[in-house]
Structure 1
Amino acid sequence: MSELTPAQQLRYSAQLLLPEMDESQQLRLLHSKVLIIGLGGLGCVVASYLAGAGVGHLLLADDDRVSLSNLPRQLLYSSAEVGQLKVDAAKARLQAQNPELVITPLAARLTLPDLLVLLPGVNLVLDSTDNASSRLAINQACYLRQVPLISGAASGWQGQLLALKPWLGQGCYQCLYPDWQDSPSCLQSGILGPLVGMVACQQALLALKHLLQIGDVSFGRLHCFDGLHGQSSQLKLQQDPACPICAASDS
């Protein structure tokens, strides 16, 4: 596709009014391929905004099924989808939202070998998972394949966001949490939907800025947000010289 159709010009007219946007930028989005891992509260919001913005190919990975307890914060699903695979329910909703996109469902918990096969040709990975083993495998795969990674997390009243290009020596998730253990799940620590939505909206915004190559994506900086007290902080990630992932080949 070398130019937008009249229907696409109308669909994306609001974002095309931005001074940083034009038809070539919209085509850049339409030609982009993004892997979203985890279709919980974060992944649902991220996928919806990327589909709405016109990211042409979304790969959706999750091995879980919709449950009743998901519905307060996982906004792609309704009571009618309880029991369905999340990837199938999400694909149906996203294609209803924007039928011209390619949506590839992956009903699996992706391992490191899976990721290494999938990542060539992917422009960006969005980590919206909720367990340490998945996050560390995603981190390692993105390092090895040199694919940018934007990771979001939310639990209790706390949210965090981290954008990484770890092959540039800026550090990685392994550096941040060298002895990482799984934190309590949302059902154990509690969560409010708007807190998840705030993190997911920021994750989607950084993703679109990266794909469009505009603005500051804050690669290598950790953003933390306290939803109870309305406080936020930011720190620059430092590479751990002993990191077995991103420092192993730098010496």
Structure 2
Amino acid sequence: MYLGFGSIQQVITDKELWEPLARLADYYSVPRTVNEARVFLRQVCGLPETRATEAMRILSQGNYLIPYDTLGYDERYSRPALLYELSGTRAREVQDRLSRSHVLFLGCGGIGNLMAITLVTSGIGHLTLVDDDRIELSNLTRQYMFTESDVGELKSTVLARELARRNSTVEVTHLEKAIASLDDLESLPAVDLVVVSADTPGLTDLVNTHCVRAGQTWMNVCYVNDIAVWGPLVVPGVSGCWDCRRIIAREPADDPQLSAVISRINHRYQAPSNGPVNMLASSLASLDALRHLGRFGTARSLNRRVGVWTHELLLDWQEAELNPACNTCGAYSGQTSRSEYASRGESVE
């Protein structure tokens, strides 16, 4: 007997429990107390007390039982509320944390479009959009919040307008601004999560340095040709940072001439980009962002950079664990203890 599917699935091999569990699930078609369920198992299904207790333990430990008022069919966030409950957290608490969260996007292109609309419709309380680019016709293959009539307009302005149309309860701020230095980053508001979705050379290094110093959580989301990439989710003082391990290729520091050649090649390179790969990276990164901000489940990109190779359908990752000797974050590794982070209900593994 398969009880539930996905992360809550349990395979019940004890045939004596198959029918009682199925009948109990049917009995739960209306709200029931735990005591009523126990009586039903004993008196209607004929289970002895020990077996009834075992059946109820299966349901309670597997997160199958949720408060009866969780699912209000007319409530805006009723469907994701079920996911939060099945993850072992109280949905109303998760939604409250999300509504009090502030996320900043550096880049409003393909990744920024898709992640922003996902977080806004999930009830994130405040989004700040930072970008100085204007919409081009070639953007429309993957930047789905823009239309042909928006070509030539500022990406941040149009995206803010479209997000407000989807959820009027969310505050959306947009800034026409290029990020070229630490001073530029320091002028931005303090937030709960910074998402780097721009492809400006050197931006991730700047953001990592700024966020480690400021104690701000950040995440890189991108694509490498056909690979959808997200992470690492950097939580200063808890997880590894961008510089703790070598996770990207770098130009050879010991050969300036070759380094200059490689730099010219890389700056001329135009990365292929298409909607499906963008959507995959954006959706998985959005789920991790919601897990972190709402404190349900475990963000899969904590301490790792994850990639889905879409041509072969392979899952790969690079470890990005905390390095106490890291020149960037080593001095800040004690700011937030791992036990404190774990006490929030989040895994640090």
Length-normalised TM-score, structure 1: 0.86
Cα distance change, pair 75–159 in 1 and its aligned pair in 2 (3 A) = same
Where do residues 62-77 of structure 1 align in structure 2 (5 Å cutoff)? 62-77=131-146
Contact 2:239 2:322 in 1 (8 A): yes
SS in 2 for 1:229: coil
- Equivalence for 2:75: 10
Which residue does the alignment assign to 2:250?
Answer: 179
Q: Which residue of 2 aligns with 1:235?
A: 318
Between the aligned partners of 2:217 and 2:75, the Cα distance in structure 1 is 31
CA positional deviation for 1:226: 1.2
> What letter matches 2:218 in structure 1?
L
Match status 1:196 vs 2:261: no
Q: Is the 8 A contact 2:208 2:241 kept in 1?
A: no
Say if 2:238 is the partner of 1:168.
yes
Could you tell me whether the CA contact under 8 Å between 2:306 and 2:317 is conserved in 1? yes
Contact 1:62 1:87 in 2 (8 A): yes
1:125 Cα shift? 0.9
Q: Secondary structure at the match of 2:195?
A: strand
CA–CA distance in structure 1, aligned partners of residues 91 and 264 of structure 2: 43
Closer, same or farther: CA 125–231 of 1 in aligned 2, 3 Å: same
Rate the CA distance shift 1:239–1:208 in 2: closer, same or farther, 3 A: closer
One-letter identity of the residue aligned with 1:114: D
* Residues in 1 aligned to 2:137 and 2:268: alpha-carbon distance in whole angstroms: 14
Distance 1:21 1:62, change over 3 A: farther
Tell me which residue corresponds to 1:82.
151
User: Which amino acid is the alignment partner of residue 76 of structure 1?
Assistant: M
Where 2:237 maps in the other structure, the secondary structure is helix
- Given that 2:221 and 2:282 are in contact with CA atoms closer than 8 Å, whether structure 1 keeps it comes out as yes
Tell me how far apart the structure 2 counterparts of residues 165 and 91 of structure 1 sit (CA, whole Å). Answer: 27
Structure with the larger RCO, 1 or 2 (CA within 8 Å, 6+ apart): 1
Supply the distance in 2 between the matched residues of 1:79 and 1:249 (Cα, whole angstroms).
47
Please state whether the residue corresponding to 2:270 is helix, strand or coil.
helix
CA contact (8 A) 2:120 2:167 kept: yes
> Which amino acid letter does the alignment assign opposite residue 233 of structure 1?
D
Q: What is the CA deviation profile of residues 96-120 of structure 1, one whole-angstrom value per residue up to 9, with x for unaligned ones?
A: 0001111000111223223224253
- The CA deviation at 1:16 is 2.2
Q: Which runs of 5+ in 2 are unaligned?
A: 1-71, 252-262, 334-349
Q: Does the CA contact (< 8 Å) of 1:66 and 1:85 recur in 2?
A: yes
2:207 paired residue number:
138
> Which letter maps to 1:237?
A
Does structure 1 residue 205 correspond to structure 2 residue 205? Answer: no
Instruction: For residue 39 of structure 1, report the CA deviation from its aligned partner.
Output: 0.8
Q: 2:112 matched to which residue of 1? A: 43
Name 1:116's counterpart in structure 2.
186
Alpha carbons 1:169, 1:246 under 8 Å: kept: no
Question: Between Structure 1 and Structure 2, how many residues are aligned?
Answer: 243
Q: What letter matches 1:203 in structure 2?
A: A
**One-letter code of the match for 1:208?**
L
Q: Match of 1:29, as an amino acid?
A: L
SS of aligned partner of 2:134 = coil
Q: CA distance change for structure 1 residues 88 and 187 in 2, over 3 Å: closer, same or farther?
A: farther
Question: Hey, what's the Cα distance between the residues in 2 that align with 1:185 and 1:196?
Answer: 21
Deviations along 1:47-70, whole A, 9 cap, x unmatched?
000000010100001110000000
Look up the match of 2:6. Answer: none
The gaps in structure 1 that reach 5 residues or longer are: 1-6
RMSD: 2.7
Post-superposition CA distance 1:137-169 (Å, at most 9, x none): 111111111111111111321222111124336
1:41 aligned partner, one-letter code: G
When normalised by structure 2's length, the TM-score is 0.63
Structure 1 CA distance for aligned equivalents of residues 282 and 331 of structure 2? 32
2: distance between equivalents of 1:81 and 1:207?
28
Percent sequence identity over aligned pairs:
28
